Amino acid sequence: MRIPRHIGLIPDGNRRWAQDNGLNKQDGYYYGLNPGLAALKLAQEYGIDEITYYGFTTDNCKRPKVQIESFVKACVDAINIIAKENVSLLVIGNTKSSVFPKELLKYTTRTNIGNGGTKVNFLVNYGWDWDISKINVNSSDRRTIMDCLHSRDISRIDLILRWGGRKRLSGFLPVQSVYSDIYTIDDMWPDFTPEQFHKAMKWYNAQDVTLGG
Amino acid sequence: MRIPRHIGLIPDGNRRWAQDNGLNKQDGYYYGLNPGLAALKLAQEYGIDEITYYGFTTDNCKRPKVQIESFVKACVDAINIIAKENVSLLVIGNTKSSVFPKELLKYTTRTNIGNGGTKVNFLVNYGWDWDISKINVNSSDRRTIMDCLHSRDISRIDLILRWGGRKRLSGFLPVQSVYSDIYTIDDMWPDFTPEQFHKAMKWYNAQDVTLGG
């Protein structure tokens, strides 16, 4: 079976799930924590090298304050859970803003946890515009372009899994995702099941990867 | 009905269609010409302001020579067909390469044809890396970032329609597509039907557009 080397996860649908379950919108993010760990464990079982989670973006900070506080806390909690595993952890995002959680600053250079292992990247206060704002190359040298990105330590993504039914990237690593295969799960992120992940892997195995050729 | 202001078309599947119909791979592109005009007419009926076609890319030029000659000719023919309509036509791509058809140079600044009208953009020898190679802004000023792109005269895309069943962007205008809704048609591009277009419009109407908020 052809396994993606690097997968991106867009864990969307937390607010809709909360409403569907009689909760306030901001209460949904908490129920996304267990799925985050479950996804990491599955990725490790498959032998996936690298996994990038879409935490929150500068655009998400247009949401009401009570939601911002909730998803920021959920990101911190999720990363603390992941930081108990054997991973190589990296947090990427605009640290200059007050919304960036200071307790995550220590992970903004790649850090081996335990024995190290799977590369886990988490986007926290990320912005596609912030990411690509300093590219100045004389030719279409892709390696040099990658080196100009704020997200330069995150490699090209083979497969993106998006929960919550939307079929869009929402600004997720536009350079690393140029040739990513995009698989959408209609269920909301807190309704994560291993079966969704297995189906995504089977689907990816059936895709051809031509990179334009 | 909520209509997308700007749609992108990725007309994929020409080579697979050719093989399925007992032809050589390079013979499929010719059968994509009528669909190109049909899509434009439908877009005009819906009142869509702008439409961008993914012609060919620098990555496509890794294909065998006989295929390159075929898709380059098909792009020239497609643009000549479109240039008989009342449109505002723009061709964007790396003109410095010998593969760029010289007969299309005259369209590399936006040109009103007839009475002008729908903005039609065609990507010819386009490369996502070439497009973003000169961005140097001091802040995440999105307007300034857009002005740095080679594709600066192409606006943000609301909806991307991709024929040929693949669920990926393949380097298609990474900045303009950050929030695009992506609709995949499983049929190959030469098997274009108006019904596929109508279904895409209905699907788009059912999406929410949150832009991260």
Q: Give residue-wise pLDDT tens across range B65-84.
A: 999 999 999 999 999 999 99
Q: Per-residue pLDDT tens for B175-188?
A: 999 999 999 999 99
Return the H-helix or E-strand segment holding A146: helix A142-148
Residues in chain B where the model's pLDDT stays below 70? 139-140
How close B140 comes to chain A (CA, Å)?
5
Structural domain count, chain A: 1
How close B141 comes to chain A (CA, Å)?
7
Which residues from A are below 8 Å from B178, CB to CB? 128, 169-171, 174
Mutation target for A interface from B95, B135, B148, B172: give the one with most A CBs within 10 A. B135
Report if residue A146 sits inside a domain: yes
Nearest CB partner across the interface for B174, out of A58, A94, A174: A174
Domain that holds residue A183: 6-205
CA distance readout (Å), B69 to A75, B18, B56:
50, 16, 11
**ipTM score assigned to the predicted complex:** 0.96
Judged by CB atoms closer than 8 Å, whether chains meet at A134 and B136 is answered as yes
Report if residue B211 sits inside a domain: no
The answer to whether the predicted template modeling score (pTM) of the entire model surpasses 0.95 is yes
What integer pLDDT is reported at residue A139 of this predicted model?
65
Residue with tokens 């140029």: A178
Report if residue A46 sits inside a domain: yes
Is residue B12 within 8 Å of B53, Cβ to Cβ?
no
Cβ atoms within 10 A of the Cβ of B202, count?
10
Nearest CB partner across the interface for B212, out of A167, A171, A181: A171
What integer pLDDT is reported at residue B139 of this predicted model?
64
How close A27 comes to chain B (CA, Å)?
17
Residue with tokens 């953009």: B121
Nearest to B158 by CA among B61, B12, B48: B48
**Strand residue runs (E) in chain A:** 6-11, 50-57, 87-92, 111-112, 118-126, 134-136, 159-163, 181-184
Nearest CB partner across the interface for A145, out of B132, B140, B181: B132
Report if residue B155 sits inside a domain: yes
Task: Give the pair of three-digit tokens for residue A37.
Answer: 């760990």
Report if residue B213 sits inside a domain: no
Residues in chain A where the model's pLDDT stays below 70? 139-140
Report if residue A210 sits inside a domain: no
Judged by CB atoms closer than 8 Å, whether chains meet at A168 and B181 is answered as yes
Residue of A nearest to B178 (CA): A171
For residue B146, the domain's CATH number is: 3.40.1180.10
Q: Most distant CA pair in chain B: distance in Å?
A: 55
Judged by CB atoms closer than 8 Å, whether chains meet at B181 and A166 is answered as yes
Report if residue A1 sits inside a domain: no
Three-state secondary structure string covering B8-76: EEEECCHHHHHHHCCCCHHHCHHHHHHHHHHHHHHHHHHCCCEEEEEEEECHHHHCCHHHHHHHHHHHH
What integer pLDDT is reported at residue B210 of this predicted model?
84
Cα–Cα distance, B77 to B155 (Å, whole number):
25
Report if residue B212 sits inside a domain: no
